[in-house]
Chains A and B, each alone.
Chain A
Amino acid sequence: MSWIPTPISRFFHRTSSPPHFYALANRWLPWLTALFLLLLGAGLYGGLYLAPADYQQGDSYRIIYVHVPAAWMSLFIYVLMAVMGAIALVWRMKLAEVMLISSAPIGAGFTFIALVTGSLWGKPMWGTWWVWDARLTSELILLFLYLGVISLYGAIEDKKAAAKAVSILALVGVVNIPIIHYSVEWWNTLHQGPTVTKIDKPSIHVSMLVPLLLMALAFKVYYLIAVLQAAKLELVRREASSQWVKNLLETKL
């Protein structure tokens, strides 16, 4: 990695050492939690109380404030996992493996939320809980990809080999991400088109848009909290016999 300036590569090397990362996570978690609660409170107040009802969908559209941020996170986390997988494969960075596998249940959770809240929104608006349209089907495949990563990692005894297999799966599965994103444009689907990510002008009023963005930010911060918690567990699990975990036990007693 000679093309990376020394201070930067030193920073990454130090931060990615397990005991250093563990301590860093502990220092960051209270602040992240406070920030999350603040964003969540503001987003919920804006979305459920301040924002007016939709002129077509009435109050049912308020499902958007959990549905859309969860769907965004389901894509975002998968892309992050693929990046971690590439880093793990190229540089054999242990922390990248840990972050990849720690992200999988959180991503699966967001995908599940997106699917079920979409179903709860679809019933009153489309008259059906489920259709096999492109957006819904590709999102369901994403859930299976997440579950595949989790079970593949669990099935292989040697964690080094497991991390390698999971990195490859995460990289291969990333082709599904653009399919999900563009599915509402490529195919004529029952799922409505994008309301926010249109380049010219989002077709959503600002009083409805601001809470949506607040909720999206809240979910991003939540991901950081949850992934740090999962990574702390995975690090202790993997390094149970190392000196820093032994030191940790002594300070706890």
Chain B
Amino acid sequence: MLDFYGKKLTSRLFLGTAQYPSPTILEDAVKTSGAQVVTVSLRRESGEAKSGQTFWNMISDLGVHVLPNTAGCHTVKEAVTTAHMAREVFGTKWLKLEVISDNDTLCPDVLSLVEAARILVEDDFEVFPYTTEDLSIAGRLLDAGCKVLMPWGAPIGTGLGLNNIYGLKTMRAHFADVPLIIDAGLGLPSHAAHAAELGFDSVLVNTAIAKAGNPVAMAKAFSIAIEAGVMARTADPMEPRDMANPSTPVLGMASFT
């Protein structure tokens, strides 16, 4: 069973909650996929519309764990302040820590990420850092007290899949006992299956599901794909080879010449 900061999970799919065609479709996607963790954010609230309250009521009724993020933060101060506000609003120590370097790639600013993580862990947060596959940064995040890492598959919202297979495989091997969640950039369930085949524990998906023609079906497809990937990994896959090797026995082949 998966264990993230002492919380036991059976589902390997973390769902983002943004960009869905409607709240009902989001709700159905969560239920159908069996996801047990959803990511949420904080944004400005109007005293008249109070749209955030409606959203929160819906999420609360789902009975899932919430993972607040610091999306959009570019500095340590922004991220730390947002984290404190999120902890009060959502009532959880969990935090998906994002400190973004530039808006074209939404690449993590890994130096600020480490600094923010250290501050927040000291303040009793349970940090899920959105990072790259860089091993030295991953090590610094663990040294700072993070017990989970969230390397990117590809830039947020691109749907490109796993951009650096070598880097991700190395990360998995190097931190064999650390829960690793692929966060961002997945576009297809096959990408999630591949992540699981490489040994990653979970995946976080938002855009690929929310922007699909049928988000509910796509959420289910991701959920199944991850489980298939895990099952394949534990089934001890064959080693790839460069030369063809007939699967049908050659011995006993008829001669027609």
**Do A and B belong to a common assembly?**
no
